[in-house]
Amino acid sequence: MDDRIYQLICLELSGEASEVDSKELGDWLAQSEQNRSVYQAMSQYWISTPEVYTSKKQTYSKLKKRIDASNQVGDLKTEENSIKSIGTRRLTFWMKAAAIFVVALGLGWTAYVSLNTGNSGPGIEMVVKQNPTGQKSTIFLSDGSKVVLNADSKVSYKKDFSSKERVIKLEGEAFFEVAKDSLRPFRVVTGEVTTIALGTSFNIDAFPERDNIEISLATGKVEVKSSGKSNKNMEPLYLEPGERASYTLSTQDITKQKFDLEQVLAWKDGIIYFKNANQKMIIEKLERWYGVQIEVVNDAQKTIDISTKFENASLSNVLKSLGYTLGFEYNINDKKVNIEYLN
Contacts of 128 (CB under 8 A, 6+ apart): 154, 155, 156
Partners of 206 in the β-ladder: 172
For 185-197, write each residue's pLDDT tens digit: 999 999 889 999 9
Q: Which domains does the chain have, with CATH numbers?
A: 3-117 (no CATH), 126-263 (2.60.120.1440), 270-341 (3.55.50.30)
Cα separation of 261 and 272, whole Å? Answer: 14
What mean pLDDT comes out for the span 266-270?
89
Q: What is the mean pLDDT of the chain?
A: 76
Say which residue, 2 or 79, is predicted with more confidence.
2
Q: Which region holds residue 15: left if phi is over 0, alpha if psi is between -120 and 50, else beta?
A: left
28 touches 60 (CB < 8 A): no
Is the pLDDT at 123 greater than 80? The verdict is no
Express as a percent the part of the chain with pLDDT over 70.
Answer: 69
Phi and psi for 295 in degrees, rounded to 5?
-120, 130
91 touches 44 (CB < 8 A): no
Phi and psi for 305 in degrees, rounded to 5?
-150, 95
For 32-46, write each residue's pLDDT tens digit: 777 777 776 676 555
Q: Considering only 87-96, 126-135, 143-152, 247-256, which range has the smallest mean pLDDT?
A: 87-96
Output the pLDDT for position 217: 95
Count of CB atoms within 10 A of residue 318's CB?
Answer: 20
What mean pLDDT comes out for the span 55-70?
49
Q: Considering only 27-36, 102-111, 183-192, which range has the smallest mean pLDDT?
A: 102-111
251 touches 213 (CB < 8 A): no
Question: What single letter denotes the amino acid at residue 335?
Answer: K
Output the pLDDT for position 143: 86
What mean pLDDT comes out for the span 172-195?
91
Say which residue, 171 or 38, is predicted with more confidence.
171
Quick check: pTM over 0.75?
no
Output the pLDDT for position 302: 67
Is the pLDDT at 180 greater than 60? The verdict is yes
Q: Considering only 21-30, 125-134, 327-336, which range has the smallest mean pLDDT?
A: 21-30
Say which residue, 49 or 2, is predicted with more confidence.
2
Cα separation of 74 and 62, whole Å? Answer: 20
